[in-house]
Amino acid sequence: MKNLIFMILAIFLISGCSKKQEQIPQAPAIEKDKEVVIEEQNTNLENGMQKVSFLEIDGFFDDDLNHALDVFKKDCKKSKRYDEFKNVCKKAEFENDGRKFFMLNFEPYKLIDSKAKDEGTITGYYEPLLHGSLKKSARFKYPIYKTPKNLIITDKTNPNGSKRGKIVKNKLVPYDTREQIEKNPKNPNLEPIAYVDDKFDLFFLHIQGSGKIKLDTGETINIGYAEQNGWPYVSIGAYLIQKNYITKDEMSVQAMKDFFKANPKIMDDVFKSNPSYVFFKISDNGATGALNTVLTARRNLAVDRSYIPLGMPVFLSTKNPVTKEPLNQLMVAADVGGAIKGEIRADFFWGFGDDAFHYAGRMKEKGKMYVLKPKY
């Protein structure tokens, strides 16, 4: 009997120990979850983003977030990433409180570049006014071209790394450079929209991407970006600095304009250092971005869309280029630019006219950028 009792007790103790051992593996599962979280945080950093809180963003609660909400409503439905924005776009239609809307529906991430820096370069652009005519004359002699008839866009990459080119002897070759286009004004594939009287203003129209032309008839027409020749943009500002024509500290659009006014003979040599050439179309509206929405002054940005999708809210922390006071506000990415390359790189749209030119032409500031990603 004693032996029987002893055996029962032994079986009970062994079974109790085995149950304890079955529960032990649950602890490492918690550690595994921690590892996953750490791995996800590291991935965010590697992908150029670091999650932050709205409280960590200087000036967020001082901004006119209701105005930012209105701009977001205009732009979000046009995004090619609409599936990502669909839920918040629908919610935005019934919301008027910008602060409440952005805090409840988005999570902010600070952009970090490949060198682990959180600051990049912020420049400005504007919608210029040019003077022109529909007919070529001694005064109005610089053409604004439509998309060439022989420009081809393919899935294949040609020798200059672009997917834009033309067919020559049944072979896809790079399209003409700026220099080649300007040397061949009788090219039957090129049709002018109008002619303008200032070559410098025309060159900067290519950089800005859209503008207005006041015709000699008194009419004003809007023109917008249509296509590009496939060659990379090369900064003439950097070229002028390299050649010691203008110092780095003096560099601005105004400084370049003054320089070429005093040295018109070298303008062509400087301009051809940038092989990129932009083609235009007549537009019903004012400045229109790559998102195909009318740009809102001081609320839309041009970005590198390989890092920031168009339609994304982006909080910008930088400085006013004239007053040097803090410029902290919520923008919407709605445009792109040939010179806008990199994780923390943006072009601030200042609007139309002389006042916009005054700010845009001087803007080259350091800045931080925070993207607001939808929670759902």
Strand partners for 212? 129, 222
Q: Which of 123, 130, 151, 92 shows the shortest CA–CA distance to 279?
A: 151
Question: What would the pLDDT profile of 313-344 be if each residue is shown by its tens digit?
Answer: 999 999 999 999 999 999 999 999 878 999 99
Q: What's the one-letter identity of residue 114?
A: S
Q: Give the Cα separation of 321 and 364 in Å (integer).
A: 7
What tokens were used for 99?
A: 């602060």
Residues 132 and 118 in one domain: no
Predicted pLDDT at 82: 76
58 secondary structure, DSSP code: T
The answer to whether position 43 is within a domain reads: no
The answer to whether position 97 is within a domain reads: yes
Does residue 65 surpass a pLDDT of 70? yes
What tokens were used for 41?
A: 């945080």
Q: How would you class 240 by CB atoms within 10 Å of its CB: exposed for 0-12, middle for 13-18, buried for 19 or more?
A: buried
Q: Which residue has the tokens 């500031």?
A: 365
Residues 262 and 160 in one domain: yes
* Domain containing residue 55: 49-124+291-374
Band of pLDDT at residue 175, cut at 50, 70 and 90: very high
Strand pairing report for 313-319 and 326-335: antiparallel
What is the tally of structural domains in the chain? 2
Band of pLDDT at residue 47, cut at 50, 70 and 90: low
Question: What would the pLDDT profile of 261-291 be if each residue is shown by its tens digit?
Answer: 999 999 999 999 999 999 999 998 889 888 9
The answer to whether position 1 is within a domain reads: no
Question: What is this structure's pTM?
Answer: 0.74
The answer to whether position 18 is within a domain reads: no
Q: Which of 292, 329, 225, 283 shows the shortest CA–CA distance to 82?
A: 292
Number of helices (H) and strands (E), helices first, in the chain?
A: 11, 17
Distances 253 to 45, 100, 125, 196 between C-alpha atoms, Å: 36, 40, 10, 19
Residues 136 and 112 in one domain: no
What tokens were used for 30?
A: 């918690």
Question: In the listed set 220, 248, 283, which residue is the last one of a domain according to the structure?
Answer: 283
CATH number at residue 296: 2.40.40.10
Least confident of 155-159, 184-188, 345-349, 367-371: 155-159
